[in-house]
Amino acid sequence: MRVLTDEHSGCCNGVGRAISVAENYLKEHGTLYSLGAIVHNDAEIRRLAGLGLRTAGYDDLPSLRGSTVLIRAHGEPPSTYKLAERSGVRLIDCTCPVVLALQKKIAAKYAGLSSAGGTVIIFGKRGHAEVNGLVGQTDGRAVVVENMADLEDKLSSRVIDVSRPLALFSQTTKDPEEFVALAARLREECPSLEVYDTVCRHVSSRHRALREFAASCSVIIFVCGRESSNGKVLFDLCRSVNPRSYKVESADEIPDGIFRPDDTVGICGATSTIRWQLDKVAEAVSKL
């Protein structure tokens, strides 16, 4: 049996940067609070908790006066920064530069569209931390569309009014092909639609590379946390290419009896999967 690890898998630059900043701060100060889970990855959260990282919610901020709180890579809406200021906490802002640039684009476009009665539409997962930060740039008025069926519902109910100016953006970690299809459908109803392809290029290229990797292997072991939105998207992509795909958080969850002696086993993961996790799973599979 042959075991290969996808060279393109592992956490994205934004998440990696946030984790590195947290580790460096903890080495010097011992305790740091993260506003929300720093990464959708329970194993990595447990590792960082051992170093002193604590996860806090918005309601906790007033009781953390004088403490230091990290803004994770997903970013936050403007209201969070105001709450932090009122609460007297110091912020370390680790918003991914790609997400930060997107927030500014949406804020600028909303300022222009709102006076004309237009709408900002965001292709993304409703309630996702990044999406909450993006919607916050529009005073909460952006319309979030999760998929094609959701778009059709919002068109038929006129939640999206195609007689008004419309601008379409995407959560950075969404499927680029799904975004293109959704934009094409919306443009059928609104030819003047402004489309901004804001899927992260790192993520976009990963979709193509992962499709090729999954096709080149006889079995795929996909490593990610259960709460990873990007992990669900990428795993579904793997499974569409290779039906012998299995999603696990660790080597302990690999099902029994799935391997054959002549298999090529591919180990890959989400943008929230840390490289050490891929290596541990690959090592465990190699010993089977």
Distance between CA atoms of 259 and 1, rounded to whole angstroms?
Answer: 8
Q: Who contacts 10 (Cβ-Cβ below 8 Å, separation ≥6)?
A: 16, 269, 273, 274, 275, 278
C-alpha–C-alpha distance, residues 260 and 241, integer Å? 19
Q: If you search the block for the tokens 């900002």, which residue do you land on?
A: 120
Please give the backbone phi and psi of residue 71, each rounded to the nearest 5 degrees, phi first: -90, 120
Rounded CA separation 238/264 (Å) = 15
One-letter amino acid identity for 98?
Answer: V
Check if 130 is active-site.
yes
Catalytic residue among 44, 76, 130, 249: 130
How many distinct helices (H) and strands (E) make up the chain?
A: 10, 12
Long-range contacts of 45-52 (CB under 8 A, 24+ apart): 48/19, 48/22, 48/23, 51/22, 51/23, 51/26, 51/27, 52/26
Give the C-alpha separation, 136 to 239, whole Å. Answer: 34
SS3 219: strand
* Among 126, 136, 128, 67, CA closest to 100: 136
Of 161, 174, 184, 176, residue with least CA distance to 134? 174
Instruction: List active site positions.
Output: 130
